[in-house]
């Protein structure tokens, strides 16, 4: 008779009623080594969460609204619990590991305080890292992003109402979006120089899925074959990154995957790189679980799939 593995590590989720929190519950439910010990939601702040129960878990995921996990994250980290924060509170905190596995896997291994990147930052960094590493980017880079309304969170607003988003796309946070700082910090670290990015996100009339298109002026001309080889070589062996000429977020629903496309514009000496992800999985819950697997010494792909539900 075949033996079935029993989950031996306990997990807690704070913010379990939100979109990213619910994705975490789904993924943990299918994880071979994690058992969901507690799923908590709060309506009136830090005191409504059962901190002691979360601290008793082997790992605590924080899927709270941006700006609301700092006190809880620090309190849990002080107990020695492995904490993975999906919000923006710790992404620029030197005491926490900024965790995008395909770019800094070694730093994540054994970490106890993990800050998971934002969804737009994940797609942008995966798209631009190979060019930045090769010293090919003539800064600044222009990035155009489009995301489904789930990226704005579960709290309803006029901006995310169906009648407001249906029929087209609309820009928002045109200057100063919170993801710019983490994008520039990570790209600067990768390139070994100051990185500058102009980023404009747009709200698209669908529930989930995100795509960025990056326009890069190159320091030396590269043809189509060279650009494709650069990306394929950089992500060779990566379970969750695929280079394709059809990066379409609709194909990635439910997947912890990023699809990249690249095109040479030889007329202008530029490269155009597009990245598609599911903003709730590779852009949030799935990436958090991927980093947790690494930090816990588990197989990185446990509980995750690169195959989406899209046709």
User: pLDDT tens digits, residue range 252-292?
Assistant: 999 999 999 999 999 999 999 999 999 999 999 999 999 99
Q: Cite the DSSP H helix spans in the chain.
A: 19-29, 51-55, 70-78, 101-108, 119-133, 162-165, 179-191, 224-234, 286-296
Looking at the fold, whether 134 and 273 belong to one and the same domain comes out as: yes
Question: Within this chain, do residues 106 and 159 fall inside the same structural domain, yes or no?
Answer: no
Do 152 and 272 belong to one domain? Answer: yes
CA distance linking residue 84 with residue 3, whole number of Å: 31
> Is the same domain home to 288 and 178?
no
Domain that holds residue 16: 9-116+283-296
Asked if pLDDT for residue 5 goes beyond 60, the answer is no
Q: CA 209, CA 188: separation in Å to the nearest integer?
A: 27
Active site residues: 119
Based on the fold, state whether residues 106 and 218 are members of the same structural domain. Answer: no
Task: Note whether residue 304 is domain-resident.
Answer: no
pLDDT of residue 185 exceeding 50, the answer is yes
Whether 75 and 212 map to the same domain: the answer is no
Mean pLDDT of 120-131: 98
- Same domain for 96 and 214, yes or no, is no
Q: Are residues 207 and 250 in the same domain?
A: yes
User: Residue 62 is part of a domain; what is its CATH number?
Assistant: 3.40.50.720
Question: CA of 51: how far to CAs of 13, 47, 58, 116, 214, in Å?
Answer: 11, 8, 13, 20, 41
> Percentage of the chain surpassing pLDDT 90?
80
Total number of domains constituting the chain: 2
- The 10s digit of each residue's pLDDT in 55-84 is 999 999 999 998 899 999 999 999 999 999
Q: Look at residue 176 in the predicted model and tell me its pLDDT.
A: 80
208 is a domain residue = yes
Distance CA 254, CA 27 (A): 10
The answer as to whether 100 is a domain residue is yes
Is residue 36, in this structure, part of any structural domain at all? yes
Pairing type for strands 113-115 and 82-85 reads: parallel
Residue 135 and residue 224 in one domain: yes
Q: Is 73 helix (H, G, I), strand (E, B) or coil?
A: helix
3-state secondary structure of 85: strand
pLDDT value at 168 more than 90: no
Q: Looking at the structure, tell me whether residues 128 and 151 fall in a common domain.
A: yes
Q: Supply the pLDDT for residue 3.
A: 43
Tens of pLDDT, residue by residue over 219-254, are 999 999 999 999 999 999 999 999 998 999 999 999
Q: Are residues 211 and 236 in the same domain?
A: yes
Report the candidate in 201, 217, 249, 194 with the shortest Cα–Cα distance to residue 131: 217
Q: What is the mean pLDDT of residues 151-157?
A: 60
| Range 137-150 average pLDDT | 92
The model's confidence at residue 121, banded by pLDDT at 50, 70 and 90, is very high
175 lies in some domain? yes
The SS3 of residue 180 is helix
Mean pLDDT of the chain: 92
What is the tens place of the pLDDT at every residue in 22-36?
A: 999 999 999 999 999
Give the whole-angstrom CA distance, residue 15 versus residue 155: 13
**What's the confidence (pLDDT) of residue 158?**
58
Pairing of strands 270-277, 210-218: antiparallel
What's 204's domain CATH number? 3.30.360.10
Q: Are residues 258 and 291 in the same domain?
A: no
- The whole-number pLDDT of residue 302 equals 98
Nearest to 241 by CA among 121, 123, 115: 123
Residue 170 lies in a domain: yes
């Amino acid at each position: 008779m075949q033996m079935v593995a029993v989950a031996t590590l306990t997990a807690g989720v704070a913010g379990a009623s939100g979109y990213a929190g619910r994705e975490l519950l789904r993924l943990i439910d299918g994880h071979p080594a994690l058992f969901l010990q507690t799923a908590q939601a709060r309506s009136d702040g830090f005191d409504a969460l059962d901190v002691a129960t979360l601290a008793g878990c082997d790992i605590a995921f924080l899927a709270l609204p941006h700006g609301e996990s700092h006190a809880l994250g620090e309190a849990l980290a002080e107990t020695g619990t492995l904490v993975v924060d999906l919000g923006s509170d710790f992404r620029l905190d030197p005491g926490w590991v900024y965790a995008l596995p395909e770019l800094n896997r070694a730093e994540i291994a054994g970490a106890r305080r993990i800050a998971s990147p934002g969804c737009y930052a994940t797609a942008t960094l995966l798209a631009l890292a190979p060019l930045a590493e090769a010293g090919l980017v003539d800064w600044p880079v222009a990035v155009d992003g489009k995301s489904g309304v789930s990226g704005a969170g579960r709290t309803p607003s006029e901006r995310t109402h169906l009648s407001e988003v249906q029929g087209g796309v609309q820009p928002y946070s045109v200057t100063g979006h919170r993801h710019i700082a983490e994008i520039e910090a990570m790209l600067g670290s990768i390139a070994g120089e100051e990185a500058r990015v102009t980023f404009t996100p747009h709200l698209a009339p669908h529930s989930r899925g995100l795509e960025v298109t990056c326009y890069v002026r190159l320091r030396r001309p590269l043809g189509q074959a060279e650009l494709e080889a650069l990306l394929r070589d950089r992500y060779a062996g990566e379970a969750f990154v695929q280079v394709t000429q059809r990066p379409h977020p609709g194909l990635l629903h439910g997947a912890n995957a990023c699809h990249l496309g690249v095109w040479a514009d030889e007329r202008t000496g530029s490269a155009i790189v597009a990245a598609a992800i599911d903003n709730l999985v590779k852009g949030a819950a799935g990436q958090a679980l991927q980093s947790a697997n690494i930090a816990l010494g588990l197989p990185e792909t446990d509980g995750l799939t690169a195959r989406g539900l899209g046709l």
